[in-house]
Amino acid sequence: MKQTLLLLPGDGIGPEVIAEVTRLVDLLAPDLQIEEGLVGGASYDAHGTPLTDETLKRALASDAVLLGAVGGPKWVGTARDKRPEAGLLALRKGLDVFANLRPAFCFPALVSESSLKPEVVEGLDIMIVRELTGGVYFGTPRGIDEKGGLRRGYDTAIYTHPEIERVTRVAFEIARGRSGRVCSVEKSNVMDSGLFWRQEVTLAHAELGAGVDLSHMYADACAMELVRAPKQFDVILADNLFGDILSDEAAMLTGSIGMLPSASLGAEGTPGLYEPVHGSAPDIAGKGIANPCAAILSFEMALRWSLGRAKVADALFAAVGVALDKGARTKDLGGELSTREMTDAIIAAL
């Protein structure tokens, strides 16, 4: 049976970068059955909801889902549960992709693009494992209301034992394939959910952590250490919110957020969700200058993690490195290539 890849280009630069990925699919995996659907603002405009049941059903029936980006100024005033971002959250929850892998890898050619000194980022290779379907993103109660004459807004940061254990297990497995080091971050000094996170990760380590060297750090200290001495980290394990923030920070170490892919994985045998870490970049949408590397490398991760094609993935990853070595740069990397020309350079390197 053919493997199926569902493309959900989304909004803003999403369709621009996904269009480039389809050129690589044609070249590297022409046997894949490609399907396409709407998500985010594009789905809201067409169907009045940022994710239809039908699209979620198709996602669940695929081998992998590749999403561009969602959101933009057009939908800012929309009710929260109808906003493009709500569609993305519903897709993550619906696919139950609880482990979000966000590599921060500094390509040798981009060492000088980082805002940090070359010696600080040269050879940088971090994997952030972000819990993706729990925590304050989904906790209840939440809302904006009035109580005792006071207007207020609130969310609930909550984690259960199985939620922490399953993502910790993934972080340990990934660390075993790397240096074996995992740094778990939280705010156990102020938050009960953070204290519980540390206790659970420690327990999981005692039970499942053979060969893993586990350390803990407060999230604020981790944010600081990431810019002071990022190479001390190998795998960083974080909850949904801290993982979101720290992965954007780590992105900038590598030169541009336009470089960073992600993989979101659920239980064995269920479809993975692949998406660039960046958003819909409304400021450059429609100009044809977005960096396609994050989307292309997200496809690379799909080949590796969901489609069982590690060799092809290796070749694609190497081609991105060669294109960069030869000086291929989009505007965010200080160059002048268009989205399409950047992809041309990667294809030429293949």
Residues identified as active-site:
137, 187, 220, 244, 248
Closest approach, Cβ 79 to ligand IPM, in A, equals 15
Q: Cis omega before residue 108 (within 30°)?
A: no
On whether 268 is known to bind a ligand per the annotation, the reply is no
Closest approach, Cβ 144 to ligand IPM, in A, equals 18
On whether 104 is known to bind a ligand per the annotation, the reply is no
**Residue from the set 62, 291, 298, 306 that interacts with ligand NAD by CB under 6 A:** 291
| Angle between helix 339-349 and 14-28 (nearest 10) | 20
Residue nearest ligand IPM, Cβ-based: 85
User: Are the C-beta atoms of 319 and 346 separated by less than 8 Å?
Assistant: yes
Measure the CA–CA gap between 350 and 61, rounded to whole angstroms: 31
- Interaction residues for ligand IPM, span 187-246 (CB under 6 A): 244
On whether 283 is known to bind a ligand per the annotation, the reply is yes
The residue among 127 and 204 lying less far from Mn ion, judged by its C-beta, is 127
The residue among 16 and 275 lying less far from ligand IPM, judged by its C-beta, is 275
Tokens of 174: 């990934």
Closest approach, Cβ 85 to ligand IPM, in A, equals 4
The answer to the question of residue 85 lying near ligand IPM (CB under 6 A) is yes
Closest approach, Cβ 170 to ligand IPM, in A, equals 17
Interface segment toward ligand NAD; rule CB under 6 A; list 25-33, 159-167, 276-284, 301-309: 276-284
On whether 229 is known to bind a ligand per the annotation, the reply is no
In order of 45, 147, 201, the CA distances from 161 in angstroms are: 39, 32, 10
Q: State in Å, rounded, how far the first CA of the chain is from the last one.
A: 27
E-only strand ranges, the chain: 4-10, 33-36, 64-69, 99-105, 125-131, 143-147, 150-154, 181-186, 213-218, 235-238, 263-265, 272-274
On whether 284 is known to bind a ligand per the annotation, the reply is yes
User: Are the C-beta atoms of 70 and 38 separated by less than 8 Å?
Assistant: no
Rg (Cα) of the chain, in Å, rounded? 20
Closest approach, Cβ 223 to ligand IPM, in A, equals 15
On whether 330 is known to bind a ligand per the annotation, the reply is no
**Residue from the set 88, 129, 250, 349 that interacts with ligand IPM by CB under 6 A:** 88
Measure the CA–CA gap between 28 and 202, rounded to whole angstroms: 42
Tokens of 34: 């490609």
Please give the annotated binding residues, written as ranges: 72-85, 92, 102, 130, 220, 244, 248, 279-291
Contact residues for ligand IPM, defined by CB under 6 A: 71, 85, 88-89, 244, 277
The binding site for ligand NAD (CB under 6 A) comprises 13, 69-72, 85, 88, 257-258, 275, 278-284, 290-291, 294, 332
